Amino acid sequence: MSDLVLQRIVDAIRERGPISFAEFMELALYGPGGFYERTPIGARGHFVTSPHVHPFFAELLLRAVVGLWEHLERPTPLRVVEVGAGDGTLAAWLLRLAPELDLPISYSAVERSPGARERLLALDPSPDVREQLTELGPLEGAVVIANELLDNLPFRRVRGTAAGVVEVRVGLREDRLAEVEGPLDERLEALAPRLRPGEEAVVPVGALAFVEELASVLRRGYALLIDYGTTNGQGSAGEVHGYRRHAVLEDVLADPGSSDVTAGVDLGAVAALATAVGLVDHGPVPQRAALTVLGFGEWSDLQRERQARLMAEGSGSAAVRIFQGRSRASLLVDPAALGSHWWLLLSTPSLPTPAWYRAAAGSLS
Ligand SMILES: C[S@@+](CC[C@H](N)C(=O)[O-])C[C@H]1O[C@@H](n2cnc3c(N)ncnc32)[C@H](O)[C@@H]1O
């Protein structure tokens, strides 16, 4: 599989010279034979995300969606659009749980990956499955959700040197893929942060293009973008890395197509562009704060009580199962794990900031 990817990358470089890191990602992740051609997500794949960690994530997210539905004056059905829906774990839970909360939804799952689209179509009930968000517009009375989409959208890389900031492109050195430094073009001149020699940053060109697309299709509604990264306007966080079989991989050029390629998202830049294209930025809140105000703590206490009761009744193995579920779920709010992800709520103008979101932001001060 990845031979094909490598060949296409090498061909592109031989034809045009070193390619941008964004183009490398396009080919390694989304081109023929690329990492996302089949869906690599889940316990049996290469990495897991919040919806896989525990179904209670979906339940809490749905409570948030109910709040947004109320602010949209309860459109029936509410259009829920999940972009980058992956293997459909979140979609399956939301579709199952919405009737229990009396929330009428019509669910569209947008996926670029052909393997993921197959998995989404096989769900029962199955969502409306699309390849591109723009197939769905204009969206009126809608909630768009994207969990860990932005960090996987192609980005460009820049590095500070003694001679100023340069772009880090992908070229060939002795027939192997290698980082090659080159001058900034006009786009990067405008977007790249100031960097001291040795500092690096990623410029989220794919995430920015997604925000423009979102603004062009969302006529009235909210968008909840969940991802890891920074919100302080200081550029992207962390290093470019990959995941293969649940292990972090540093050298993403070594075997393209066989691993994920990701980096923390500059959510400050995403929010700034959202505002510039007419959306409202309700400010980011950490996932741990959002899930806590939505009821994580109460649920966790209840689970602990059930566990103690089962132990007292002599049902040790049932108690252990509850303990294991509770431990897994705690990763969702753990600041050293998924709890440090950010929830960035955007909306079209004149929609209020929901109470749960204000409470989550308030809980930080
Ligand atoms: C890290 S995965 C997250 C999947 C899922 N949201 C989850 O939390 O498990 C990112 C997903 O976004 C998809 N994707 C990437 N670019 C996309 C785009 N422009 N439109 C729709 N889906 C996209 C990828 O195919 C991949 O399945």
For 100-134, how does the pLDDT look when each residue is reduced to its tens digit (9 = 90+)? 999 999 999 999 999 999 999 999 999 999 999 99
Q: Is 46 near ligand 1, meaning CB less than 6 Å away?
A: no
Q: Where exactly are the structural domains of the chain?
A: 296-330
From the number of C-beta atoms within 10 Å of its C-beta (0-12, 13-18, 19+), residue 73 rates as exposed
The neighbouring-strand residues paired with 1 are none
Q: What is the pLDDT of residues 221-233, one digit of tens each?
A: 999 999 999 997 6
- Interstrand relation of 128-130 and 105-110 (parallel, antiparallel or unpaired): parallel
For residue 235, the model assigns a pLDDT of 64
Question: Which of 149, 208, 210 has most ligand 1 atoms within 8 Å of CB, for mutation?
Answer: 149
Positions of the chain with pLDDT under 50: 1
Structure tokens at 277: 């294209």
pLDDT at res. 238: 57
Residue 160 Cα to ligand 1 middle (Å): 30
The token pair that represents 240 in the structure block: 């470019």
Determine the 3-state secondary structure of 350 from DSSP. Answer: coil
Task: Say if residues 229 and 155 touch (Cβ distance below 8 Å).
Answer: no
pLDDT at position 232: 76
Q: Which helix (H) or strand (E) holds 191?
A: helix 186-191
Atom of ligand 1 nearest to the CA of 48: 9
Q: How far is the CA of 146 from the centre of ligand 1 (A)?
A: 8
pLDDT of residue 236: 63
pLDDT of residue 47: 73
pLDDT digits (tens, 9 = 90+) for 232-272: 766 665 588 777 776 687 888 999 998 899 999 999 999 99
Instruction: Outline where DSSP puts E strands in 12-155.
Output: 19-20, 78-83, 105-110, 128-130, 139-147
Q: pTM higher than 0.85 for the full model?
A: yes
CA atoms within 13 A on the CB side of 304: 8
Ligand 1 pocket, 227 CB below 6 A? no
Q: For residue 78, what pLDDT is reported?
A: 98
Question: 353-359: long-range contacts (C-beta < 8 A, 24 or more apart)?
Answer: 353/282, 353/283, 354/64, 354/67, 354/68, 354/71, 355/67, 356/63, 356/64, 356/67, 356/290, 356/293, 356/294, 357/64, 357/67, 357/282, 357/285, 357/290, 359/293
| CA 5 / ligand 1 centre spacing (Å) | 19
Long-range contacts at 126-130 (CB < 8 A, ≥ 24 apart): 127/82, 127/85, 127/88, 127/91, 127/95
206 ligand 1 Cβ < 6 A = no
41 C-beta closer than 6 A to ligand 1: yes
